[in-house]
Amino acid sequence: MAPAELRDLAIDIAREAGELARRRRREGVALAATKSSLADIVTEADREVETMIRARLAAARPQDGFLGEESGEGGGTTGLTWVVDPIDGTVNYASGIPLYAVSIAVAEGTDPERWTVLAGAVHSPVVDEMFSAARGEGARLGSETLRVTQDWPAGALLSTGFGYDPSTHAGDLATVGRVMPIARDLRRGGSAATDLAYVAAGRLDGYFERGLQPWDYAAGSLLVEEAGGRFVRPEGPEVGRRLNLAGSARLVAELEQRILHNP
């Protein structure tokens, strides 16, 4: 399958998954568990939506591998891995804040630090926005072509996120202090996949966050790159918590310099 066909499959499944998530939210949300900390929750809908996505992928692409936030890994024989966050922005979802998204990507390879993402879709069901990309084919919102911003005369509109582990908060706040001199303003939306989609769409100029998981950024990273931007994950002083940066090449270089090299 060509990347464009993989993208179209991701779009179809993401739309169906988004409808299911939204329906379940209307019916009420039950927490299924907390994971690493009290803030790192999983709802019953996260599990149900991932199960649905996994079943749809197993039917359409039975030989491909799978990596999902809630159900872990499943091997494959084609060298392709589907990388799935059924509800990115679970805390928003559980709290009734409509900013959450289904994120589905397919990558060539199994190692997130080396793989090549071929296609992806990020679907925000409440506002019915479908962001998608296929490698070499560009990034789109619906049928509209996306471009990252190249200039931010009034300062960069940035977004970030904070890890769920309270011991990381002081470091993350220090990082915010380092980038504010070049910021017009800062957002903390609560869904990394949506943040990256918004960078691709030029709604945000840039994004920085430490310590994302592959399912948080796989689809969004391709959206940014196919919209003419850069997504990078440089190592910083915090072992095991890479810095994720997105935006134009110039803004990413500036953010990396400020955060990692020239505090």
Question: Please, what is the minimum distance in Å from the beta carbon of residue 75 to ligand IPD?
Answer: 23
How far apart are the C-alpha atoms of 89 and 80, rounded to whole Å?
A: 26
Decide whether 3 or 158 has the Cβ nearer to ligand IPD.
158
Decide whether 69 or 256 has the Cβ nearer to ligand IPD.
69
Token pair 């994302």: residue: 212
Say whether residue 85 binds ligand IPD (CB under 6 A). Answer: yes
| Residue nearest ligand IPD, CB atom distance | 161
- Of 48, 50, 70, 88, the residue at the interface with ligand IPD (CB under 6 A) is 88
Decide whether 149 or 244 has the Cβ nearer to ligand IPD.
244
Say whether residue 247 binds ligand IPD (CB under 6 A). Answer: no
Stretch that binds ligand IPD, among 11-19, 88-96, 112-120, 241-249 (CB under 6 A): 88-96
Intra-chain end-to-end CA distance of the chain, in Å: 46
Question: Please, what is the minimum distance in Å from the beta carbon of residue 151 to ligand IPD?
Answer: 26
Decide whether 69 or 225 has the Cβ nearer to ligand IPD.
69
- Of 50, 70, 172, 216, the residue at the interface with ligand IPD (CB under 6 A) is 216
- By CB under 6 A, the residues from 102 to 141 that bind ligand IPD are none
Decide whether 3 or 163 has the Cβ nearer to ligand IPD.
163
Decide whether 65 or 189 has the Cβ nearer to ligand IPD.
189
Q: Judging by DSSP bridges, how do beta strands 156-160 and 183-187 pair with one another?
A: parallel
Say whether residue 205 binds ligand IPD (CB under 6 A). Answer: no
Contacts of 218 (CB under 8 A, 6+ apart): 83, 103, 105, 107, 112, 117, 120
- By CB under 6 A, the residues from 140 to 199 that bind ligand IPD are 161, 190-192
Decide whether 194 or 248 has the Cβ nearer to ligand IPD.
194
Binding residues for ligand IPD, rule: CB under 6 A, are 69, 85, 88-90, 161, 190-192, 209, 212, 216
